[in-house]
Amino acid sequence: MINEIIRINVSSMTHTMEEIPEKYKYLGGRGLTSAIVADEVDPKTDPLGPGNKIVFAPGILSGTSAPTSGRLSVGAKSPMTGGIKEANAGGLTATRLAKLGIKALIIEGEPNHEDWYHLYVSKDKIEFIKANEHANMGLYELIGKLWEKYPKSGLVGAGIAGQRLLKNAGIFGNNPENTDPGRYAGRGGLGAVLGSKRIIAIITDDDGGQRPMPKNEELFNTGRTKMVNALKEHAITGGKAGTDEGALKNYGTNVLQNIINEAGALPTKNFRSGYFEGAKNISGEAVHELVDEMKEKFGDKSEGEYGHACHPGCIIRCSNTVPDKNGKLIVSPLEYESAWALGTNCTIDNLEDVAMLNRICNDIGIDTIDAGNALAVAMEAGKIPWGDGKAAIEFMKKGYDPNDEDGATFMHGAAVAAKTWGIDRVAVVKGQAFPAYDPRPIRGIGVTYATTTMGADHTAGYTIAPEILGSAGGADPRELNKADLSRAFQSTTAYIDQAGYCLFIAFAILDIATGMEGLEETVAGFLGKEKYDITAVGNKILKTEREFNKKAGFTKEDDRLPKFFSEEKLPPHDVTFDVTDEELDAVFEKM
Amino acid sequence: MSIIKIHLFGKLRRLAENSGSTDDSIIELNWNENETLANLVNKRLNLSFDEIGEIFINHNPITKFNVVIPNEARVALFAKGMYLLCGGQHMKGHGFIEKRDKEVNYW
Question: CA A181 from chain center: how many Å?
Answer: 14
Q: With an 8 Å Cβ cutoff, are B9 and A259 in contact?
A: yes
* Cis peptide bond upstream of A572, omega within 30: yes
Q: Per-residue pLDDT averaged across B14-23, rounded? A: 88
Suggest the residue from B11, B48, B85 to mutate for an interface test with chain A (most A CBs closer than 10 A). B85
List of chain A residues whose C-beta atoms are within 8 Å of the C-beta of residue B20: 289
Q: Give how far B43 is from chain A: nearest CA, Å.
A: 23
pLDDT in the model for residue A474? 40
Element (H or E) spanning B79, and its range? strand B74-79
In 10 A of CB A403, how many CB atoms?
7
Write the pLDDT tens digit of every residue in B32-59.
999 999 999 999 999 998 899 999 999 9
Phi, psi of A250 (to 5 degrees): -95, -40
Tell me the domains of chain A and their CATH numbers: 4-204 (3.60.9.10), 241-426 (1.10.569.10), 443-589 (1.10.599.10)
Euclidean distance between CA atoms A25 and A473, whole angstroms: 27
Residues of A in contact with B85 (CB under 8 A): 236, 253, 255-256, 259, 507
Instruction: Give the separation between CA A570 and CA A575, rounded to whole angstroms.
Output: 6
**Contact check, Cβ <8 Å, B87/A437:** yes
User: Quick check: A36 and A184 in contact, CB under 8 A?
Assistant: no
Instruction: Say if CB A540 and CB A491 are below 8 A apart.
Output: no
**B76: chain A residues, CB-CB within 8 Å:** 262
CB atoms near residue A580 (< 10 Å): 10
Task: Report strand pairing: A54-58 vs A72-77.
Answer: antiparallel
Phi, psi of A508 (to 5 degrees): -70, -30
Are residues A437 and B22, on separate chains, in Cβ contact within 8 Å?
Answer: no
Cβ contacts of A442 on chain B, cutoff 8 Å: 87-88, 90-91
Residue B82: which of A255, A443, A506 has the nearest Cβ?
Answer: A255
* pTM summary value: 0.95
Selection from A548, A568, A549 nearest residue A559 by Cα: A549
Record: contact B59-A286, CB cut-off 8 A:
no
Q: Which of B9, B80, B95 lies closest to A510 in CB terms? A: B95
The answer to whether the CB of A145 falls within 8 A of the CB of A181 is: no
Chain-chain contact of A466 with B94 (C-beta, under 8 angstroms): yes
Angle at which helices A482-499 and A29-40 cross, to 10°: 100
Beta strands in A264-344 (DSSP E): 305-308, 319-323, 329-331
Count Cβ–Cβ pairs < 8 Å, chain A vs chain B.
148
DSSP annotation string for A490-518: HHHHHHHHHHT--TTHHHHHHH-HHHHHH
Kindly determine whether residue A510 and residue B96, on different chains, have CB atoms separated by under 8 Å.
Answer: yes
Residue A543's DSSP bridge partners are: none
Cα-Cα-Cα-Cα dihedral sign, residues A247, A250, A253, A258: negative
Is there a contact between A545 and A38 (Cβ–Cβ < 8 Å)? Answer: yes
The total of other beta-carbon atoms located within 10 Å of residue B16's CB is 17
Q: Return d(Cα A65, Cα A240) in angstroms, integer.
A: 21
Q: For residue B104, give the chain A residue with the closest CA.
A: A478
Which residues are CB-contacts of A559 (< 8 A; sequence separation ≥ 6)? A429, A450, A451, A584, A585, A587
Residues of B in contact with A253 (CB under 8 A): 85-86
Query: What pLDDT is attached to residue A426?
Result: 98
Confidence (pLDDT) at A481: 65
To probe the interface with A, which of B90, B96, B103 has the most A CB atoms within 10 Å?
A: B90
CA distance A248 to B66: 29
Cβ neighbors of A188 (< 8 A, separation 6 or more) are A78, A79, A80, A81, A85, A87, A367, A432, A454, A455
- The tens digit of pLDDT for each residue in B74-104 reads 999 999 889 887 766 666 655 566 665 555 5
3-state secondary structure of A178: coil
CB contact under 8 A, A442 and B24: no
Task: State the nearest Cα–Cα gap between A275 and chain B, in angstroms.
Answer: 9
β-strand partners of A320:
A306
Alpha-carbon distances, residue A514 vs A14, A107, A157 (angstroms): 47, 40, 38
> What helix, strand, coil percent values describe chain A, rounded to 5?
45, 15, 40
Of A328, A327, A330, A435, the closest CA to residue A389 belongs to A330
Distance from CA of A248 to the nearest CA of B (A): 8
Please, what sign has the CA dihedral across residues A113, A117, A120, A125? negative
User: Is A9 exposed, middle or buried (CB count within 10 Å of its CB: 0-12, 13-18, 19+)?
Assistant: middle
Taking an 8 Å cut-off on Cβ atoms, the answer to whether B81 and A239 are in contact is yes
CATH number of B3-91: 3.10.20.30
DSSP-derived pairing of the beta strands A154-158 and A54-58: unpaired
Q: Looking at chain B, which residue has its C-alpha nearest residue A465?
A: B95
Tell me, what amino acid is at A338? S
- A259, B82: Cβ pair inside 8 Å? yes
Cβ-defined contact of B82 to A575 (cutoff 8 Å): no
Would you say A294 and A327 are in contact if contact means Cβ atoms under 8 Å apart?
yes
Query: Do B81 and A463 lie within an 8 Å CB cutoff?
Result: no
Contact check, Cβ <8 Å, A258/B80: no
Which one of A294, A468, A478 would you mutate to disrupt binding with B, by most B Cβ within 10 Å of its Cβ?
A478
Q: What is the pLDDT of residue A467?
A: 38
Closest to A552 measured CA to CA, from A197, A76, A192: A76
A246, A256, A511 ranked by CB distance to B86: nearest: A256
Cα A177 from Cα A159, distance rounded (Å):
19
Question: H helices within B1-107, ranges in order?
Answer: 37-39
Provide the sign of the torsion angle of the four alpha carbons A28, A523, A489, A472, taken in this order: negative
Q: How far is B27 from chain A (nearest CA, A)?
A: 16
Q: What contacts 24+ positions apart, CB below 8 Å, involve A3-6?
A: A3/A101, A3/A103, A4/A101, A4/A102, A4/A103, A5/A102, A5/A103, A5/A104, A5/A105, A5/A106, A6/A102, A6/A104, A6/A105, A6/A106, A6/A121, A6/A126
Q: Which residues of B touch A (CB under 8 A)?
A: 7, 9-11, 20-24, 53-54, 56, 58-61, 76, 78-99, 102, 104, 106-107
**Whether A263 and B59 lie within 8 Å, measured CB to CB:** yes
Across the interface, whether the CB atoms of B86 and A253 are under 8 A apart is answered: yes
Residue A570 Cα, gap to closest chain B Cα (Å)? 13
| For chain B, domain boundaries | 3-91
pLDDT tens per residue, chain A (591 residues)? 567 999 999 999 999 999 999 999 999 999 999 999 999 999 999 999 999 999 999 999 999 999 999 999 999 999 999 999 999 999 999 999 999 999 999 999 999 999 999 999 999 999 999 999 999 999 999 999 999 999 999 999 999 999 999 999 999 999 999 999 999 999 999 999 999 999 999 999 999 999 999 999 999 999 999 999 999 998 889 999 988 888 999 999 999 999 999 999 999 999 999 999 999 999 999 999 999 999 999 999 999 999 999 999 999 999 999 999 999 999 999 999 999 999 999 999 999 999 999 999 999 999 999 999 999 999 999 999 999 999 999 999 999 999 999 999 999 999 999 999 999 999 999 999 999 999 998 888 888 899 999 999 888 766 544 434 443 334 444 445 667 777 777 787 888 889 999 988 987 776 788 988 898 899 999 999 887 777 788 889 989 999 999 999 999 999 999 999 999 999 999 999 988 999 899 888 877
Give the nearest chain A residue to B12 (CA atoms).
A244
- pLDDT for residue A320: 97
